[in-house]
Amino acid sequence: MTEATRAAAFSRLRVGRARLQVAAGVATEWVQELVPWAAALAMKGTQGVVSHQAPPGRAGEVMVKLYRFRQKDHLWRRLRTSRAVKEGAGYLAFQQRGLLVPELLVSGESRRWGLFELGLVVTTRVPAISVADEFASRGEPDLLFATARELSTIHLAGLAHGDPYTRNFLATRPRPMPLDIASWSRFGRASQLQDLTRFTCSILKLTGDPMRASALLQHYASAGLPLPISADALLDRARAYAEGRRIRA
């Protein structure tokens, strides 16, 4: 998909204070109802992913990821680009590069006096659980190797995930599907090192097996991208990264 085609596939819509990007074919009326519904949930303290009825012409449900400001957030944090906007841009960038991600339907944010108050990212619902949950349930090593290969595919496409924990990939077949990409970036040595450190940390948390983590790193490299540092050094970085943090696989 070219940049022009990608831009044409979305239109801008304003609903109250919310400034949104809306995919072609998504009914305006549906979005106009969605925004106050999301705002009401946020006012009650809801944050994270909730399901909602799909727009007309689509069956089933969509997944709505809500971002809301917290009273403890510093002023500068509410002034800068929100994670909702970053994540929406990430889904578009991944789609543009031909990577498998849930289809983006709506993304944007609401601000008051320039301060962030609400963000939302709406995607299609993919009927799969996370790689972390699937592995914990069934213990299939091939799934982890497929996830390592998918991370290398993302990097070879010139992008970085940002938070490539196994919980942030859906256990779809034959390729796991990345999601939760608000921390995405362009690929470079620093972003590659960060991705591999966090991925390795996730594997260690999930399996408790350094040898398996090392094998997965070698499998990543076999796709054509050399590791930025040795597998042993990445294991050390992953352990150090986990210290003092509540890391979930």
pLDDT at 75: 60
Query: Model confidence over 99-154: pLDDT tens digits?
Result: 999 999 999 999 988 888 899 999 999 999 999 999 999 999 999 999 999 999 99
The whole-number average pLDDT for the span 230-237 is 97
For 39-63, b where at least 16 C-beta lie within 10 A, e where not — what string?
bebbeeeeeeebebebbeebeeebb
pTM over 0.85: yes
* Res. 24: pLDDT tops 50: yes
* Res. 32: pLDDT tops 70: yes
pLDDT at 76: 57
The whole-number average pLDDT for the span 52-77 is 82
The whole-number average pLDDT for the span 230-239 is 97
Residue 80 phi/psi, 5° resolution?
A: -80, 170
Please tell me the class of the 131-242 domain: mainly alpha
Mean pLDDT computed over every residue of the chain: 91
Contact 26, 55 (CB under 8 A): yes
pLDDT at 147: 98
Query: Model confidence over 148-157: pLDDT tens digits?
Result: 999 999 999 9
Contact 144, 132 (CB under 8 A): no
Query: Model confidence over 192-229: pLDDT tens digits?
Result: 999 999 999 999 999 999 999 999 999 999 999 999 99
Identify the DSSP state of 107: E
**From CA 68, how far away is CA 110, in angstroms rounded?**
10
pLDDT at 69: 67
